[in-house]
Structures are given as structure tokens and as C-alpha cells.
Amino acid sequence: MTEFWLTYHFFSRSHLQPTTQLIELERLDHKLADLEDVLDYVFRQGYVDAKHRPATWWEKKCGAKVKSSVAIEYLLTEGVGKCPETALRLFIEDIPSTLWFSYVFLNHPHSQVVVQRVKLAGVEARFERLAHVTNHVFSQKFLPCKYRSVVHWECSGRKPINEFTLINDILATGQGVSEDKPVHLVIDDKLIHPNTPCSETSSTVCSPVSTPVCFSAKHLHF
């Protein structure tokens, strides 16, 4: 065995193509026997910041996880890591992967609270600011477009959150990190008449449902 191929999958870059790397095993000063040795090599060389060491793992192209104790020779025998097409994937969760939020309808104080999770990074889109999440909610028709002009975000204690706020900054405060600690998308639906149709000039996609479903109604208290 002389070559081993891997790809870097950073959560913060999951909307971009992963970087592929060739490790020329015979050119190294010391032998890399298993994947744990490969990790030591990657972090020692500074290819990945050492602070992310607790949040890294290996996966095959098929999505099956691989233990770090697996020998490189065995993987190459199985055809894994022999070329760029079969490169082993190194996942690095360098940013939080999800944001939890609830829908709060001000005009329906007794409805059931529904909490939703949104993935922050994907192949086609990246959610960096809270405004990206708002756009996602309406583009996916989770809410009718007639509510687009009457929504805002709040954290616990009814404290407003600006849409320009970075999601990482919100998560750093402990808000939105779990189903029990969501941020709140507040819909001031009392400003909208129940029979008001979606505006044809709206910049978002209109929902085909004429009567919106209330996902949530009361504030969560921590």
C-alpha cells in the first residue's frame, strides 16, 4: 500500500464540494497503521484545527461509519481509500448542525406548541443568519406568505432577536440548541384577517392552503 485517499467534510462548508487529499504513505517518516494514526497525522500537520478533534468521525461513501481502530491496510483491501472515487470521508462538525425553534401565534393562546428543527448546512443552502431561517420557513410553505410581514423572532423572556443575528451567536447563548430550548418565531396573526388571501406581489411562495394551521400558541418558559 502506497496511497490513501480521504475527503474533508466540514459542516461549515457542506454547501460546497469537499476537499480531497492524497496521503502518500511511503513518504511519511512514520507508519500510519490505522485511522487513529491518520487523525493524529491530520491534526499534527494542522490540516484541521485541533479544537475540532472531539467532533470528527469517519464514514464510507455509502454513509456507514468506520471506527478509528480499523487498519488502513484492511480498508485498502476492501477498496476503500484507493482512489478519489472511493475516498474515506472525514466529517468535522466545526459548527452546530441544527437550530430548534417554535411557532408562536399571538392570536391562538391555547393551541399546541410545536417545535421544529432546521439543519443549518446543506448541499444547496447554508443558514448563517436568522433571516435565512425565516426565508426557509416561507419558501417551504411552513407558513402562508400572508404572514411574512408580521413575524419576528424572540428568545426566552420575550426578548426580540434581530434577523441579522448570526445563528452561531444565538446558539452560543444556549438558545435554540435543543427541543427544550428553542427560539420562537412569533406570528402576530391578529393583524391578518382570517380570509385575507396571499398577495400576488409577495416575494415568497404562497401557500395553497386558505386557512392556516396553528402550530403553536404559548410561550415556552425555561
User: What 3-state DSSP class applies to 213?
Assistant: coil
76 and 129 in a single domain? The answer is no
The predicted pLDDT at position 144 comes to 93
Q: Which residues of the chain have pLDDT under 70?
A: 1, 109-111, 121-125, 191-222
Structural domain total, the chain: 2
Measured distance CA(112)–CA(67) in Å, rounded = 42
The predicted pLDDT at position 103 comes to 94
In a domain, 200, yes or no: no
The predicted pLDDT at position 36 comes to 97
122 and 157 in a single domain? The answer is yes
137 and 55 in a single domain? The answer is no
**What is this structure's pTM?**
0.60
pLDDT digits (tens, 9 = 90+) for 171-205: 889 899 999 999 999 999 876 655 545 444 333 33
- How many C-alpha atoms does 213 have within 13 Å on its Cβ side? 9
For residue 114, what are the domain limits? 98-191
103 and 43 in a single domain? The answer is no
CATH code, domain with 33: 3.10.20.90
157 and 186 in a single domain? The answer is yes
Calculate ∠ Cα 10-7-117, nearest 5°: 35
pLDDT digits (tens, 9 = 90+) for 197-215: 544 433 333 333 332 333 3
120 and 184 in a single domain? The answer is yes
The predicted pLDDT at position 124 comes to 60
